Amino acid sequence: MSDQTDAKAWSGRFSEPVSDLVKRYTASVFFDRRMALQDIRGSLAHARMLARQGIIAAADLAAIEGGMEKIRGEIERGEFVWNLDDEDVHLNIEKRLTALVGDAGKRLHTGRSRNDQVATDIRLWLRDTVDAIDGLLRNYQAALLDLAETHCDTPLPGFTHLQVAQPVTFGHHLLAYFEMASRDRARMQDCRRRINRLPLGAAALAGTTYPIDREFVARELGFDGVCENSLDAVSDRDFAIEFLACASLVMTHVSRFSEELILWMSPRVGFIDLADRFCTGSSIMPQKKNPDVPELARGKTGRVFGHLMGLLTLMKGQPLAYNKDNQEDKEPLFDTADTLIDTLRIFADLVPGIRVKPEAMAAALKQGFATATDLADYLVKKGLPFRDAHEAVARAVRAAETRGCDLADLTLAELQAYSPLVGEDVFAVLTVAGSLAARDHIGGTAPAQVRAAIARARAAL
Ligand code: ARG
């Protein structure tokens, strides 16, 4: 980036230049150049509208279109020279346009302000980002479905309070994360509706005196409509805050999954192994294989939450309309998008690389009396009120615990000591397979239900 001194776009008003430090402090071109292509798109739509409305000449539009095409090429090839003196992406591009095409370039900013321009650019950029994230969430979901499909019948202990609760299938467990991702996508789509409105035409804050056609610009840029109020259009960033809230929930869900992966991969649990390409070793302990990727995903979640808090705080004290504070909206947005995009890309690849260890899951199910609820339900079906059944089974569990065995290892006579209602058929209920198959309703963990849920999910995807 060159740092040549040159007249500022607004220099006429001032008697002394800003210091280099202030220049650097107030400039955003280092980071907002990331929206360069959106800026060009917005400018072209604006210029076409100006020409259609007779505000600029057809020849000016042709010159602007030609110049912008050239600039786009320079940016794409990495040849564009970004200049700190021109503050931001908008002024850099406008200046280069004027250098290329002369007065036509100076006419582009007619009826427009950087305030509505930047709000437009962010919305265009965020819309593209939301669409990219939707595709990545979909790939992640497809990976979850594939793995779930091979584990419709694989039992593992379901936990509450991190204590063994009841048997579930691993497929069912994975589908829980599929559901979270479905809601994450729906939330992003809903947010997209509010992103997809055109601020251009609001100009600095009050609208403009030229006979503009905002609807035309909105159509050109694929917006669903225009922002209704000019003051609101240039100043609020609630759509960006909403995106960060949606992103925070995506990361929350990925973080919960990560926490489980880390736990499952611990040798103490040993339910899964992660492919080597997602793990790293220790520089001192030769035996280590650490689940770095899920740990980092869990850690990066905090960073996205921080951006959400940052933007909320950025907004809360701002009077109408535009304030320079808003320039601080971009880096948190960009970093959040990068974090989500990388995380989701990695997870779509990480999920197929999960090596499941069904023996370890089955062994864990032998501890913790996972079928105790099934025994209570069995007694209820024989006529005992649930609270009494709960008490009888609790006493049986205590006996089994003292003897260091599972409920299914108690003899019929021993079980009958806790309730005379127990019969020969009790042992079918105490098996893991029986417990799973019994939860046979929509949303339940029965393998048949998990298969049906996967079929529905595939159709929806
Ligand atoms: N770089 C500025 C931003 O990101 C563009 C808008 C500047 N507007 C102004 N009145 N200084 O918000």
SS3 assignment, position 204: coil
Nearest CA to ligand 1 atom 11: 324
Long-range (24+ apart) CB contacts under 8 A made by 103-109 are: 103/60, 104/56, 104/59, 104/60, 104/61, 104/63, 104/64, 104/67, 105/63, 105/64, 105/67, 107/50, 107/56, 107/60, 107/64, 108/43, 108/46, 108/47, 108/50, 108/64
Round to whole Å and give the CA distance between 107 and 56: 7
Q: How far is the CA of 111 from the centre of ligand 1 (A)?
A: 16
Identify whether the C-beta of residue 275 lies closer than 8 Å to the C-beta of residue 284.
no
Decide: 235 in ligand 1 pocket, CB within 6 A: no
Round to whole Å and give the CA distance between 59 and 67: 12
Same fold, 115-362 and 368-460: no
Sign (positive or negative) of CA dihedral 392, 397, 402, 403: positive
Q: How far is the CA of 331 from the centre of ligand 1 (A)?
A: 14
Residue 258 annotated among the catalytic residues of the structure: no
Residue to mutate, 22, 87, 88, ligand 1, most ligand atoms under 8 Å from C-beta:
88
Sorted by where each begins, the domain ranges of the chain are 4-110, 115-362, 368-460
The listed CATH number (3.10.520.10, 1.20.200.10, 3.10.129.10, 3.20.140.10) that belongs to domain 115-362 = 1.20.200.10
SS (HEC) of 343-382:
HHHHHHHHHHHEEECHHHHHHHHCCCCCCHHHHHHHHHHC
Residue 161 annotated among the catalytic residues of the structure: yes
CB atoms within 10 A of CB 213: 17
Counting from 1 in the atom list of ligand 1, the atom nearest the Cα of 329 is 4
Q: How far is the CA of 182 from the centre of ligand 1 (A)?
A: 36
Superfamily of domain 4-110: Fumarase/aspartase (N-terminal domain) (1.10.275.10)
Look up residue 380 and give its amino acid.
V
Round to whole Å and give the CA distance between 430 and 249: 38
Residue to mutate, 114, 120, 231, 314, ligand 1, most ligand atoms under 8 Å from C-beta:
114
Decide: 173 in ligand 1 pocket, CB within 6 A: no
Q: How far is the CA of 188 from the centre of ligand 1 (A)?
A: 26
Superfamily of domain 368-460: Fumarase/aspartase (C-terminal domain) (1.10.40.30)
Q: Among residues 2, 11, 161, 441, which one is catalytic? A: 161
pLDDT in 10s for each residue of the chain, 461 residues: 444 445 677 778 888 999 999 999 999 999 999 999 999 999 999 999 999 999 999 999 999 999 999 999 999 999 999 999 999 999 999 999 999 999 999 999 999 999 999 999 999 999 999 999 999 999 999 999 999 999 999 999 999 999 999 999 999 999 999 999 999 999 999 999 999 999 999 999 999 999 999 999 999 999 999 999 999 999 999 999 999 999 999 999 999 999 999 999 999 999 999 999 989 888 888 888 899 999 999 999 999 999 999 999 999 999 999 999 999 999 999 999 999 999 999 999 999 999 999 999 999 999 889 999 999 999 999 999 999 999 999 999 999 999 999 999 999 999 999 999 999 999 999 999 999 999 999 999 999 999 999 999 999 99
Q: How far is the CA of 435 from the centre of ligand 1 (A)?
A: 62
- Alpha carbon separation from 236 to 45, 87, 115, 363 (Å, rounded): 22, 22, 11, 56
Instruction: Spell out the residues 6+ positions from residue 50 whose beta carbon is closer than 8 angstroms to its own.
Output: 56, 61, 107, 108, 110, 111, 210, 212
Q: Among residues 282, 307, 419, 441, which one is catalytic? A: 282
Decide: 115 in ligand 1 pocket, CB within 6 A: yes
